[in-house]
């Protein structure tokens, strides 16, 4: 195993993804803005870098997994950023979910330094990151994809090269339109079941395995019934992804009326200080409109 890996951004997702690279036997150098979040991985055998530039200087492939577009721009282009330390021939793999247009611009900036880039956003939640079962949608040059594939396979199960720079991010945003559509359908259905006076646990059993079933319903409806709002994916990050969807849709001139409505409903949750709850807290926005709650009073 010759490629030395760097990892920048050890949040909910990055922790599990980086741990799986260590398990696969890769030499790993990590950096996180909040240094304490590096400790677990260092204890497991990773080296701590002083900065994103230092991580890049010590690595052949640098993986980035931070929050939003300006954050990726900061860790790649900033003083002490990845591109400051990267040698020509380095490959940068961005696993964050960010703007497809900004991704194309970052790939062009990297190319001027002889650095290749892939956008490789992920789906599968914190559970998928920890288990190494993520779906990873990859945009960029075929040769860079082939080079990154063994590394991506250490972190994910379904790896798909979907096109050129930015295509991975576009497909990730497609994924997010489906996620929130499934989420609002689940929340409306449970609210309707509550109003209809039926047993919610029996309703769940009756409908989750048929044509109405979904990952969202299977995994998050039980949480709603328990009124457990702990996040796999936070309201704030969900809102960020819907902003990216609506910006891209605006650039493309395509109407997404339902996604736009869901974006506004998530905003009501943020306005109430619920941004760190799980994305299934969308149920609370509908409960507020209906004037009653789902589950035990
Ligand atoms: P998270 O737990 O909030 O972690 C965010 C990470 O980004 C932290 O390491 C944070 O550092 C770092 N960061 C943020 N802004 C930064 C900046 N300006 N400079 C340097 N570091 C910065 O988020 P996450 O859930 O791991 O998500 C990471 C990415 O994966 C996001 O783009 C998200 O949309 C995507 N994603 C998440 C999930 C999920 O289920 N959680 C699923 C699929 C995709 P600090 O520790 O210092 O704050």
Domain boundary among 129, 147, 164: 164
**Ligand 1 contact, 75 CB (< 6 A):** yes
Domain boundary among 135, 164, 193: 164
Residues 33 and 154 in one domain: yes
Q: Tell me which residue range forms the domain holding 34.
A: 4-164
Residues 132 and 113 in one domain: yes
Residues 239 and 265 in one domain: yes
**Ligand 1 contact, 272 CB (< 6 A):** no
Q: pLDDT tens for residues 265-279?
A: 999 999 999 999 999
Cβ atoms of 25 and 42 within 8 Å: the answer is no
pLDDT confidence of residue 280: 98
91 beta partners: 61, 116
Q: pLDDT tens for residues 41-66?
A: 999 999 999 999 999 999 999 999 99
Report if residue 203 sits inside a domain: yes
Strand 5-8 and strand 28-31: the pairing is: parallel
Report if residue 99 sits inside a domain: yes
The count of domains in the chain is 2
The number of C-alpha atoms within 13 Å of 293 and in the hemisphere containing its C-beta is: 9
**Ligand 1 contact, 125 CB (< 6 A):** yes
pLDDT confidence of residue 126: 86
Residues 80 and 155 in one domain: yes
CATH number at residue 47: 3.40.50.720
Domain boundary among 164, 190, 207: 164
Cβ atoms of 239 and 275 within 8 Å: the answer is yes
222 CA from centroid of ligand 1 (Å): 26
Residues 159 and 179 in one domain: no
- Record the tokens describing residue 38, joined without a space: 């590096």
Residues 107 and 252 in one domain: no
95 CA from centroid of ligand 1 (Å): 10
| pTM (two decimals) | 0.94
Report if residue 296 sits inside a domain: no
CATH number at residue 286: 1.10.1040.10
pLDDT averaged over 10-residue windows placed end to end, the chain, 297 residues: 92 96 98 98 98 98 97 98 98 98 98 98 92 98 98 98 98 98 98 97 96 95 97 94 97 97 98 98 98 89
Residues 121 and 197 in one domain: no
* Backbone dihedral angles phi then psi of residue 91, each to the nearest 5 degrees: -115, 125
198 CB contacts (<8 Å, ≥6 apart)?
none
């Amino acid at each position: 195993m010759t490629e030395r890996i760097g990892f920048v951004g050890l949040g909910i997702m990055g922790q599990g993804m980086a741990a799986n690279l260590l398990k696969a036997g890769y030499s790993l150098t990590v950096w996180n803005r909040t240094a304490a979040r590096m400790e677990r991985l260092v204890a497991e055998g990773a080296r701590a870098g002083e900065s994103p530039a230092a991580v890049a200087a010590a690595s052949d492939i640098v993986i980035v997994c931070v929050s939003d577009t300006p954050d990726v721009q900061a860790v790649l282009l900033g003083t002490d950023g990845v591109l400051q330390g990267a040698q020509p021939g380095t490959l940068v793999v961005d696993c964050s979910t960010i703007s497809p247009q900004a991704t194309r611009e970052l790939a062009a900036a990297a190319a001027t330094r002889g650095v290749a880039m892939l956008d490789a956003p992920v789906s599968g939640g914190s559970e998928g990151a920890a288990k190494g079962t993520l779906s990873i949608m990859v945009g960029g040059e075929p040769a860079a994809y082939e080079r990154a594939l063994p590394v991506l396979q250490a972190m994910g199960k379904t790896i798909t090269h979907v096109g050129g720079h930015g295509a991975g991010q576009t497909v990730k945003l497609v994924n997010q339109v489906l996620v929130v559509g499934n989420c609002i359908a689940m929340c409306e259905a449970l609210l309707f079941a509550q109003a209809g006076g039926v047993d919610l646990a029996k309703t769940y059993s009756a409908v989750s395995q048929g044509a109405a079933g979904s990952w969202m319903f299977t995994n998050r409806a039980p949480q709603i019934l328990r009124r457990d709002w702990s996040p796999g994916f936070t309201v704030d990050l969900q809102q960020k992804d819907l902003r990216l969807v609506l910006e891209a849709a605006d650039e493309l001139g395509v109407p997404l009326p339902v996604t736009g409505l869901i974006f506004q409903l998530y905003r009501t949750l943020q306005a109430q200080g619920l941004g760190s709850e799980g994305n299934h807290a969308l149920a609370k926005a509908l409960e507020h409109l209906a004037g009653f709650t789902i589950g035990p009073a």
